[in-house]
Structures are given as structure tokens and as C-alpha cells.
Structure 1
Amino acid sequence: MSGMVLDPGDRSLPTGFAPGVPAGRVVAPKDAATVMLVRDGSAGLEVFLQKRVKGMAFAAGMTVFPGGGVDPRDADVSVSWHGPEPDWWAQRFGCTPETARALVCAAVRETFEESGVLLAGPDAATLVGDTGHYAAARAALVARDLSLAEFLAGEDLVLRADLLRPWSNWVTPEGEPRRYDTRFFLAAMPTGQQADGSTSEAVEAYWATPRQALADFADGRCHLLPPTRVTLEELAEHSGAGTALEAERTLAKIIPKLVQRDGRWHVLLPGEPGFEEAK
């Protein structure tokens, strides 16, 4: 896997954590999409982050990128689409074209719902500017009263799949009661739009360089799940948004393992000492 980090550092999970599924039983992961919005700041590449509320059923209190699970309606073939076709995405993510279409649509929808950034435009060559006048539609999407296909059709907009780049594919470890097969996408922050924190799922939203976010994690000022931490380490290798968007990525499913040591659970990633021996 391109960019895999081999220094595990301290990946011990909070005291009292224990896998929520009985041994021998594995929960099937649900498809999900996550988007790293990047831009060029005074200190180099910056990425948009959100701190999730503590009451969330998954990743409570964690600092994450916008994203979420696939809605069955995300597979609607009526979506007006510009960019690489579902077959292209299916080859990169190792899934069916139908699933690939749903993943790309979920990436666009979740990014709009959670940050107000909309990767769509009136035609294949343009993007919407200020998305504030779509506030009612955004709320309807969050409430699932409106599908992405209905929203785009109603506003005569084209989904801009060409603005997304495939980055990685992470699967929640076995033993977890909520598992996701998450495809990570990269996208540049559109000119004229603003990313915000107007979502009930986050208590804070901000831009930071990957190195700043990793320093906050090291100092205990934020909490990162392994996929977020590794992705930030990978993004930190790029001086600007342009080089990150142009990076050639080799994608494979990354499925961490949970191991118990000294009374606490730890996360192991592929390539790290003890991973192959862990069950």
C-alpha cells in the first residue's frame, strides 16, 4: 500500500474498550465515503477537519474528515454526471460499477451535508459559487427528505466526479459492532465556496496543515482514528494541494487488527510487527 506507515507509535485504545462483538462473529461492513478537502494556505497544504460530537454512535469525539455511509438512493442512475465513469471508479476501488456510482454520489452528498461544499455545477466546465442559497436543500438531504439525484435535478446541476481523486480504502477491524468499508477521496476546495461547521455531527470545524493536526494528536489536543492519522501522515508528504491531487495511488483494502496487550486493546496495521501473527 502506497504511503503505509510502519511506525505504530501508541495506538492503544481507551481504558475499558473491548470489542463489541462475540469472538467468532463478524459484522459485515457497510459502504461509506470520506472526502479530504484540501487547499493551499500560507504554511502549505491544509485539510478541512471536524471534531465529532461525543454522543455519536461511531467515532464519537474523534477529529475526522467529512463523510458517512452510503444511502441506497446514492446509486440512482439518473444523476447528471461529468468525469470518470463508474466503471473507472469500480476498477480503483475493487467493487461493482453500481457500488462505485453510489460511493461517488455519497462522497459528494456527505461533503455538502457536513461542510456546505458542493462538487457540482451548471455544466461540465463550471462549479457553483456560494452554496448558501441551497441551505434548505442541504437540510432536506440531511433529514433524508431529499435524495442527491432529486436535489441536482431540481437545481439543474451536474455532479463533478472529475474533481474527486481516489486515495485509499479502509475497513473497520473485525470485532467492532459498527463496521464500514470506507473509500477515501481527495478534492480541492472550490473557489468561491466556504467550508463550514454547520452540522449536528460536529462541535468544531477548522482548516489545519496535516503536521499541525498530527502535532495536536501527539499532544493530546485531538483524537484520531488510525485511518485519519495515516492519511494525515500521507498528506504531510505533499507541499501543496496540486501535488497531492496529482499523486499516483495504489489502492488496496486496509483492514487493521485489534490485539490485546497488558490489559488494553491496541490497533495494528498491515506491515507492522505482529500483524501477520494476530488473529
Structure 2
Amino acid sequence: MRELPRELVLPEGFVPPEVPDPPVTPKDAATVMLVRDTDSGLEVFLMRRVLGMAFAGGMTVFPGGGVDPRDADTSLAWHGPPPEWWASRFSCDVGLARALVCAAVRETFEESGVLLAGPSQDTVVSDARPYAQARTRLVDRELSLAGFLAEAGLVLRADLLRPWADWVTPVEERRRFDARFFLAALPTGQRADGATTEAAEARWQRPAEALEEWRAGRVGLLPPTWTTLTELAECASVADAMSRERRIAKLMPRVVRDGNVLRIVLPGDPSYDEAAAHLDPEERS
């Protein structure tokens, strides 16, 4: 695990000053890095969350969100590695593994308009715009992913996804997620639009450029996003990224006060085990 830079700090007030006791139980979630090849190299789809949102407001992130109970529906048509394979990669039970893959496909469609499904097990939708009404119904929770795919006669393409990482929100937060990160290539013919109320803007960008914007102070990144962008910046192409074997280990950052700033640390950092229950400067004095 690469070390987080000391410059990766949180704005004052971003987390509550006192750690909840007991800590909030993380909600299972799926995050998807959509990538595509360009003449300038691999690009990834990024969204800047609306400022003021309860979680990660104003931060630049990948599409994703929490698992819906209906994501566990076993009735949908599925092609690719079975839930048992995903369970072994993410070290979870089979039912949750199925739900995570379904959540990844659903959230990608809801937030970017990209649909990882096709009319058969060896085809992919080339234009997702005809399913715009179903996308709205999914967002409004009027329709489940299984119901949508059944109505449209589509097969979920689990083989288009790759497992990448597993990040857990620090215990200091009152809104916590156990987010499994997936990688997916943009299907030929489809377009990512970022047409979601959760995003103030969306764009394709080379990972190195996104990191440079962070260094210049123009965007905010959380540890999972910074780390993933750094890893993707090392990939020469989509094929290179998709072919990489990943050892998935659950990672949970902690927040420590370093002078006048809140710094984020990972296991192995000397400050990790010294994280205090209070982050308020007065409580630490």
C-alpha cells in the first residue's frame, strides 16, 4: 500500500470533532471507475459531488452508491464470473457479492448513463439512451435493476467488471460506507453523461491530470480516490488496467490532528494507532 501524502488533509469541520461511540456501522456500497482509451492515454470518468451533500460534498469522486436491498434479487439474467467468485475476491458472503455487482451496474447506469448489460451474454448495449425512462425510475426507486433488465430483455454483464479495492470510511464519520471498488471499460458506442443530481459537474480526465489539479488545490480528493487515481496513472491502457491482478484487502483510514489540520493515515503509519477519540484542538490540548 502506497503512503498517503501529508498534503492530503480534510477541511476543518469535514468530520465531527468526537468519534461516535459506538462507531456507525458502514453501509455496503459499490464504486466504479469507468475508463477509456484516448490518443493521450487512459482516461477515467470523474464527478464533482454537489457542495453541501451529507457525504463527501464538493469532492471529486467516481460513480457509485449504497447497495439497495433489491440488488440481491437472484432472478436477473447474469453472465460472467458467478457471485461465488466475487465473494472470494471481496471476502464476503455470496448474497452480498451478488448485490455488490448489481449495485455497481445499477449505480453506473444511474449516475453516468453507462449500461453494463446486453441483449445476450456476448453482446453489450451500444446506446443506452433508449433506456432513459428506466434510468429515471431506477433513481426514484420505482424500479429494481432485476425488474428493469427483465422488462428490457437484457443480461447483466458481470464479465465487464474487475474487482479493484475495498475501502471503509473512517470511524470518525457519522455516515460510513464499506465501498468495494470495481473497474469497467466504457462499452463501444456508449457515452457517459454524469446527468445526476448528485454531481455539480462530470468529465473524462487522465488520472495524472486529476492528481495535478489536486496538487494545485483546484479539486478535493478523498484517500480512496487519490490512491486509485495514482494506481490508474500507472496503467498504459484500458487493457493494461483490466488485466491487472489485484489482491483485495479491506482498508480503513483514520483521521488524526496534525497541528492545525486533519490528516488522513492508513495502517502502517506511526500515527494510525495513536488516533484519538477527539479531534477538537481544545480536546487534544
| TM-score when normalising by structure 2 | 0.94
Aligned: 1:278 with 2:280: no
Higher mean Cα deviation, 253-262 or 173-182?
Answer: 253-262
Secondary structure of 2:137's match? Answer: helix
Q: Which moved further from structure 2: 197-206 or 115-124?
A: 197-206
Q: Which residue of 2 aligns with 1:60?
A: 57
Task: State the Cα distance separating 1:270 from its structure 2 match.
Answer: 2.3
Q: Distance in 2 between matches of 1:158 and 1:222?
A: 37
- Superposed displacement of residue 23, structure 1: 4.9
Alignment partner of 1:215 out of 187, 196, 212 = 212
Aligned partner of residue 10 in structure 2, secondary structure: coil
Residue 7 to residue 147, structure 1, CA distance change in 2 (3 Å): closer
Cross-structure match for 2:198: 201
From 170, 178, 187, the equivalent of 2:184 is 187
State the shift of 1:126 in Å. Answer: 0.1
- The amino acid across from 1:10 in the alignment is E
Find the residue that maps to 1:39 and give its secondary structure. strand
Deviation at 1:272, TM superposition (A): 2.9
1:73-125: CA deviation from partner (whole Å, max 9, x where unpaired): 00000011000010100011011000000000000000000000000000000
How far has the Cα of 1:11 moved from its partner?
Answer: 2.2
| 2-structure distance, mates of 1:125, 1:16 | 49
Deviation at 1:16, TM superposition (A): 3.3
Q: 1:33·1:107 contact (CA, 8 Å) conserved in 2?
A: yes
The answer on whether the counterparts of 1:90 and 1:96 sit within 8 Å (CA) in structure 2 is: yes
Deviations 1:46-80 (A, max 9, x none): 10001111132111111110000000000000011
Amino acid at match of 1:68: G
Q: Percent identity?
A: 61
Q: Note the 1:207-246 alignment, pairs <5 A.
A: 207-246=204-243
CA RMSD of aligned residues (A): 1.3
Paired letter, 1:225: L
Partner of 1:30: 27
Give matches, 1:1-279, under 5 Å: 4-19=1-16, 22-278=19-275
CA apart distance, 1:20 = 5.9
Between the aligned partners of 2:275 and 2:52, the Cα distance in structure 1 is: 31
SS at structure 2 position matched to 1:46:
strand
| Alpha-carbon distance, 1:139 to partner | 0.3
**TM-score (norm: length of structure 1):** 0.96
Partners of 2:4 and 2:155 in 1: CA distance: 42
Q: Which amino acid aligns with 2:64?
A: G
Q: Distance in 2 between matches of 1:186 and 1:18?
A: 28
- Output one character per residue of 1:114-171: Cα deviation in whole Å (capped at 9) or x when no partner: 0000000000000011111101000000000000000000001000000000000000
- Counterpart CA distance in 2 for 1:72 and 1:52 is 24
What's the secondary structure of 1:159's corresponding residue? strand
The answer (yes or no) to whether the contact 1:121–1:159 under 8 Å persists in 2 is: yes
Say which SS state the counterpart of residue 184 (structure 1) adopts: strand
Contact 2:4 2:223 in 1 (8 A): no
2: distance between equivalents of 1:18 and 1:175? 7
d(CA) in 1 for partners of 2:17, 2:121: 46
The residue identity in structure 1 corresponding to 2:249 is A
8 Å CA contact retained: 1:8, 1:268: no
Cα–Cα, structure 1 residues 82 and 21, in superposed 2: closer, same or farther, change >3 Å? Answer: farther
C-alpha separation between the residues in 1 aligned to 2:93 and 2:197?
A: 32
